[in-house]
Amino acid sequence: MKITGLRCAVIGKHPTLRITTDEGISGYSQIESSKASYIKSHVMFYEDKIVGHDPTDVERVVQRIRRLGSFKPWGSSVSAIEMALWDIAGKSAGLPVYKLLGGKVRDKVRCYNGNVRIPMHGNEPQHYAENMAKMKELPQKFSIIKQGVAFHSGMPTEQPNFFYGENRAHAHHLNRGTLTPKGFNHLLSCIDAMLEVCGDDVELALDCGPGMMLPDAIRLAKAVEGKNVAWLEDMLTGDYVPYTLAQNYREVTQSTSTRIHTGEQIYLRQNFVELIEKRCLDVVGPDPCDVGGIAELKWIAEYADLHDILMAPHGTIDGLFGLAALVQVGATMPNNYIAFEYPTGDPGWWYDIVDGLPDPIVVNSYVDVLERPGIGIDFRIDAAKKYLSDEDKTFFD
């Protein structure tokens, strides 16, 4: 079998990849929607480097392009290509991808809510509490709910005198600075309000940055010790920051019993070695569509397990093919696995153009392992074609 082409279309909000072959088998994957405005040309950069090669030799093909990626957002193209290759390999073998990754160790995979969002109308503790109550009642009954706070929220822009420094509002978290006493106390009040709603039924994960300074990160971690906090995520570096500052994370982690989490922006296993070997974190959270793919994610999970570090993969590989990929690799991970961040289809008609997902998808925070060959789902092509833009009309041809 040989690869004959690589295509990328934005379907709804989701950049979607298709790798075609001379045997008529196609592999699909997706990239997070926030990259839709610029990622297509970057994906197509790799086409001539993979065409003509056997897609079932996944590692051999990816070795041709892996060195050309980088930290988020520039690892997404390589990662998505890797995931689409696994889809082809599974379909060719007549097996679900988890079988090719070593076999499943669980029949259902736990996920957490970081993406099924409910608009929050205000920035005071009561608003956070009300929002958490609504998310707690979602039909999926998520056992972990993640909420953005500090520099991963509206606090720096909407809360007066929240931190010292110039306010530079931006989707990619440009704000960074020392919290004022007023800002720090507001942050704690909002966290406590959510914890009261969570009780013992739901763990509260907190996405905190990037942007916090090291002393504030230590103060926050100590302030929530002993409380029902699943982890503190990306306090110092993280989303769209092209470095890790492992030693700074180690100082936070070694100072507290609160779990410290990072990793979503990091590309490739090599960039996790120091974080893991020096115990700079308690929970590692790579995104399979930024780290280099699902095999890369599993390698990191195995290495973290050797060091008693937990695994909670980031999941804004938006879309249902991203969800299916996380279920496949999540089924194979060792016992350090906690949960993956649940991706969604947007707009809602995405659920009408794919086959293979259970209904309902999530039951009590778990997704049953998908047993179809490949990634576990596939397009209803006739239904999907009507949602293609004029620019992408040939995507399924």
- The CATH number of whichever domain residue 45 belongs to comes to 3.30.390.10
Q: Identify the three-state secondary structure at position 237.
A: coil
- Whether 249 and 364 map to the same domain: the answer is yes
pLDDT in tens, the chain (397 residues): 999 999 999 999 999 999 999 999 999 999 999 999 999 999 999 999 999 999 999 999 999 999 999 999 999 999 999 999 999 999 999 999 999 999 999 999 999 999 999 999 999 999 999 999 999 999 999 999 999 999 999 999 999 999 998 888 777 788 999 999 999 999 999 999 999 999 999 999 999 999 999 999 999 999 999 999 999 999 999 999 999 999 999 999 999 999 999 999 999 999 999 999 999 999 999 999 999 999 999 999 999 999 999 999 999 778 999 999 999 999 999 999 999 999 999 999 999 999 999 999 999 999 999 999 999 999 999 999 999 999 999 999 9
pLDDT at 168: 84
Residue 19 included in any domain: yes
- Whether 63 and 138 map to the same domain: the answer is no
| 217 neighbors 150 (Cβ within 8 angstroms) | no
Total structural domains in the chain?
2
- Whether 48 and 129 map to the same domain: the answer is no
- Whether 228 and 331 map to the same domain: the answer is yes
pLDDT at 238: 96
Whole-angstrom distance, CA of residue 175 vs CA of residue 161: 13
Residue 306 included in any domain: yes
Q: Which of 93, 98, 41, 42 is nearest to 69 (CA)?
A: 42
CATH number at residue 156: 3.20.20.120
- Whether 254 and 351 map to the same domain: the answer is yes
Task: Identify the domain containing residue 36 by its residue range.
Answer: 3-95+380-392
Residue 54 included in any domain: yes
Whole-angstrom distance, CA of residue 9 vs CA of residue 25: 18
Q: Which of 283, 362, 289 is nearest to 319 (CA)?
A: 289
Number of C-alpha atoms within 13 angstroms, CB side, residue 289?
A: 32
Residue 7 included in any domain: yes
- Whether 153 and 211 map to the same domain: the answer is yes
Residue 397 included in any domain: no
- Whether 145 and 225 map to the same domain: the answer is yes
- Whether 11 and 66 map to the same domain: the answer is yes
Residue 23 included in any domain: yes
Residues, the chain = 397
Neighbours of 158 (CB within 10 A): 12
Q: Which of 221, 207, 193, 189 is nearest to 136 (CA)?
A: 193
- The identity of residue 283, as a single letter, is V
